[in-house]
């Protein structure tokens, strides 16, 4: 009896996670559609675009990789840039991990793959510490919406000719700038963002290529973390 109600409680929490994520599903779906369309426009095949979305499953870094792939950046530069863009997962993984203490190790390796900004936000906003089953339910909804959106985008993307005519090439920097804008909370955040931009532009003029992204990103954030005052947990636990 006890066991039965445990299972029902678990299923209920997963469903709760799915329901709590429904508000985010349309925008994640559209985000996926935009990615699918732009990736196909840039020259990736449908299989490559979908494969990347399932295997990497990290939207921002995928948006970053596509123009680099199309522009002929070295493979290692793309992979390193992906790593640095996704380093924020360390923070989310560290915050979520204690809640999954009672899960089997094998499951942890599976659940780790679907760590994403939106589900993190949903789970952390619901309860502290986050309910692991709510998190799993949210990850199911978000990953389904993203991959489904990419599939639709792949189908539609081939229809647009000359994407720059519609300003679609500008969608990449626009997404990045919007993501920065919503993360600037403290005055020192501006300092970090502006310093990184100036260093990246300078390096890009001097070096060409695409290493300026990793170098400026790591150097400026590391200097910032070394010299800026450490914040209280309440200001760092919010999702990016």
Partner 1 sequence: MRSDVWFVIAGMAVATYLTRAPMFVALARGTLPPRVRLWLRLVPLAVLPALAVPLVLVRDARLVIGWAHPPLWGAVVVFVLAARGVNLLASVAIAVALVALLRALA
CB of 78 to partner 1, least distance (A): 5
Residue 240 contacts partner 1 per CB under 8 A: yes
- Cα→Cα distances 150→2, 11, 67, 112, 173, Å: 42, 28, 17, 21, 19
Residue 189 contacts partner 1 per CB under 8 A: yes
Name residues contacting partner 1, limited to 5-34 (CB under 8 A): 27, 30-31, 34
Looking at 43, 125, 128, 158, which residue binds partner 1 (CB under 8 A)? 43
Cβ-based nearer residue to partner 1, 30 or 140: 30
Name residues contacting partner 1, limited to 49-88 (CB under 8 A): 51-52, 55-58, 60-62, 64-65, 67, 69-70, 72, 75-76, 78-88
Cβ-based nearer residue to partner 1, 76 or 125: 76
Residue 127 contacts partner 1 per CB under 8 A: no
Residues 6 or more apart whose CB falls under 8 angstroms from that of 163 comprise 38, 41, 169
Residue 199 contacts partner 1 per CB under 8 A: yes
CB of 46 to partner 1, least distance (A): 12
d(CA 201, CA 213): 9
Looking at 91, 140, 151, 160, which residue binds partner 1 (CB under 8 A)? 91
Residue 101 contacts partner 1 per CB under 8 A: yes
Residue 156 contacts partner 1 per CB under 8 A: no
Looking at 109, 159, 161, 187, which residue binds partner 1 (CB under 8 A)? 109
Candidates 120-128, 136-144, 152-160, 195-203: pick the segment binding partner 1 (CB under 8 A). Answer: 195-203
**Best CA proximity match to 145, nearest among 25, 12, 58:** 25
**Best CA proximity match to 136, nearest among 149, 148, 126:** 126
Map tokens 């709510």 to a residue.
134
The 10 Å Cβ neighbour count of residue 107 is 12
Cβ-based nearer residue to partner 1, 87 or 125: 87
Residue 122 contacts partner 1 per CB under 8 A: no
Q: Which two tokens stand for residue 184?
A: 């600037």
Residues 164 and 49: beta-carbon distance below 8 Å: no
Cβ-based nearer residue to partner 1, 84 or 156: 84
CA angle 215, 217, 218 (to 5 degrees): 70
For CA atoms 80, 154, 118, 18, the dihedral sign is negative
d(CA 190, CA 118): 24
């Amino acid at each position: 009896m006890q066991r039965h109600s445990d299972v029902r409680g678990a299923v209920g929490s997963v469903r709760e996670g799915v329901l709590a994520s429904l508000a985010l599903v349309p925008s994640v779906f559209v985000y996926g559609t935009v990615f699918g369309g732009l990736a196909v426009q840039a020259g990736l095949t449908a299989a490559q675009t979908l494969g990347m979305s399932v295997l990497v499953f990290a939207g921002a870094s995928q948006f970053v990789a596509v123009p680099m792939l199309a522009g002929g950046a070295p493979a290692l530069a793309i992979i390193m840039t992906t790593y640095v863009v996704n380093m924020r997962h360390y923070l989310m993984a560290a915050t979520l991990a204690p809640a999954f203490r009672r899960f089997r190790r094998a499951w942890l390796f599976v659940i780790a793959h679907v760590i994403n900004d939106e589900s993190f936000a949903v789970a952390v906003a619901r309860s502290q510490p986050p309910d692991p089953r709510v998190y799993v339910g949210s990850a199911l909804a978000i990953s389904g919406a993203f991959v489904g959106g990419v599939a639709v985008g792949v189908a539609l993307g081939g229809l647009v000719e000359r994407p720059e005519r519609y300003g679609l090439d500008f969608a990449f920097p626009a997404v990045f700038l919007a993501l920065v804008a919503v993360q600037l909370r403290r005055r020192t955040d501006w300092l970090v963002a502006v310093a990184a931009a100036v260093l990246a532009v300078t390096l890009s003029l001097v070096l060409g290529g695409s290493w300026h992204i990793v170098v400026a990103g790591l150097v400026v954030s590391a200097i910032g973390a070394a010299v800026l005052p450490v914040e209280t947990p309440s200001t760092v636990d919010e999702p990016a």
